[in-house]
Structure 1
Amino acid sequence: MIIDSHQHFWKYEPTKHAWIDDEMSAIRKDFLPSQLQKVYQENGIDGCVAIQADQTINETDFLLELSNDFDFIKGIVGWVDLRNKNIDATLDTYSHHKNIKGFRHVVQGEADHNFLLRPNFLGGISSLEKYEYTYDILIFPHQLGATLEFVKKFPNQKFVIDHIAKPYIKDGFYDGWAILMKKLAKYENVFCKLSGMITEADYNNWTPKQIEPYINLVLESFGAERLIFGSDWPVCLVAGNYAKVKSLTTNFIAKLSADEQKKIMGTNAIKFYNL
């Protein structure tokens, strides 16, 4: 079974989706399950995990509703305000919905480089384990140092790093990112998504050869046991199409055993998110 561990849905609104800049104008429109279902049929994908793109409770409820209506959405990662002192009550309410597998905060958008280490945020993370919720870590490379200190504090919490921590592939930024990713990978509760890579490269001129050193580093560091395939659809459409995104990963891992390939393309996502 092939699972896409990372994709988004939205009804486009210019204010809400202001992060979609002029270079990304191709995705300034609605993206809903009926469209993705066709893409999955063309590319042999069996199911997905829908990830929040907006930081509101409404977003979580929107994704939850879609997952109830479309069976191929096997789980969702929503948003709640993990800094809220009443977070336990919110998590308890959502715990009755089996399709909610975890939560995410857009930490990459926080001006505070040490946002992950603030006491109120740490308090929210400490509540996730009780409900067996996962946490998706969305960061830029300059936040990797804080992320390392962050994951040390929660040895039993299931974490996954989105988009291999968004290295600046277009600028050839590698060594600083690689050193800290290797350190993060030493924590066995931390997984990593093979997703969002082509949009960190040059949208129009990227090649698999440019991206392979980054995939190789996370494969060596996390191993086939803790890597998870994700498309980042529809964001990926600004730099390619679904088939190109999928083949970037499948071509690279073709050298691995059949069992390792199955893990990366589906089994690990099922295990991590309890699908």
Structure 2
Amino acid sequence: MKIDSHQHFWKYDPARHAWIDESMYKIRRDFLPEDLWPELQARGISACLAVQADETENETRFLLDLGNRFDWIKKVVGWVDLKAPDIERRLEQYKCEPKLAGFRAILQSQEPEAMEDDAFLKGISHLERFGFTYDVLIFPRYLDKAYELCRKFPNQPFVLDHLAKPGIKAGEFANWSKWIAKMAELPNVCCKVSGMVTEANWSNWKSEDFKPYLDFVTEHFGTDRLLYGSDWPVCLVAGTYSEVFDLADSYFQNFSESEKQAIFGKNAMRFYGIQF
């Protein structure tokens, strides 16, 4: 059972999606389930997990509505204000949503010190009790703070989105690899094999560009803590869905069947509580 553990849906709005700048003109339009389903079918993928792209609870409701309408959208990673004074009440309400797996914030748009904020930490501290996961969206320079965050909550499931966005285009490796190795020491942290092409040269990347990074996360996280994700439709600024999938599929082609099944499905099922 193949699962895409990371993709987005949206109804494009220039104000709400201001982060989609001129260089990303290809994705300045609506992207909905009917656009993704043919891509999944073409690669033998049976299900996906929809991740927030807008920091509003309306976004969470939008994704949950899609999840309730399309059975193959198995889970949603939404957004909630973890710093809200009534965060426990909000999480209690969301616990009634069977398709809500967890939450994410656009931490990469804040300063790294945001992960040390007392109110934020208090919100994170409640997630485990309600059974929610947390996706960590950061750049490499945030990894030291992210490591401390994940270490403080050893029973909270965390997953690093997009390998923590290493600077593949510039060949940056040293600081990223140092902290990825430390993150991998934490058994409550997984890593998504996703979002790589948008960190490379959008118009001129090749599979060899990604090998050092894939080698490193595979060596340190192991095949039981890696989750395949496309980051569709954001990936479209640098490659088609098929190109993104084939990049990961080719890298892992010589791994055992059980390892491939884990990376392309079973790890996501376990981490996010997906059932068929």
Which TM-score tier does this pair reach, normalised by the shorter chain? over 0.9
Could you report, residue by residue, the CA deviation over 1:60-98 in whole angstroms, capped at 9, with x for unpaired residues? 000000000001100000000001111000000010010
- Report 1:128-167 matches (<5 A): 128-167=127-166
Matched length: 274
Moved over 3 A (4+): none
Could you report, residue by residue, the CA deviation over 1:187-218 in whole angstroms, capped at 9, with x for unpaired residues? 01100000000000000001110111101100
Which 5+ residue runs of structure 1 have no aligned equivalent?
Answer: none
Residue of structure 2 in register with 1:274 after alignment = 273
* Alpha-carbon distance between aligned partners in 2 of 1:104 and 1:262, rounded to the nearest angstrom: 26
RMSD: 0.6
Residue of structure 2 in register with 1:20 after alignment = 20
* Alpha-carbon distance between aligned partners in 2 of 1:116 and 1:221, rounded to the nearest angstrom: 24
Q: Does 1:246 align with 2:235?
A: no
SS class of match (1:101): strand
TM-score, normalisation: structure 1: 0.99
Letter in 2 for 1:66: L
Letter in 2 for 1:92: E
Could you report, residue by residue, the CA deviation over 1:117-147 in whole angstroms, capped at 9, with x for unpaired residues? 1110000000100111000000011100100
Residue of structure 1 in register with 2:107 after alignment = 107
Letter in 2 for 1:102: G
Residue of structure 1 in register with 2:205 after alignment = 206
Shift of 1:50: 0.1
Shift of 1:23: 1.0
Could you report, residue by residue, the CA deviation over 1:209-247 in whole angstroms, capped at 9, with x for unpaired residues? 011110110000100010000000000011010111111
Letter in 1 for 2:136: I
Letter in 2 for 1:35: D
Residue of structure 1 in register with 2:93 after alignment = 93
SS class of match (2:215): helix
* Alpha-carbon distance between aligned partners in 1 of 2:26 and 2:213, rounded to the nearest angstrom: 26
Letter in 1 for 2:90: T
* Alpha-carbon distance between aligned partners in 2 of 1:11 and 1:212, rounded to the nearest angstrom: 34
Shift of 1:22: 1.0
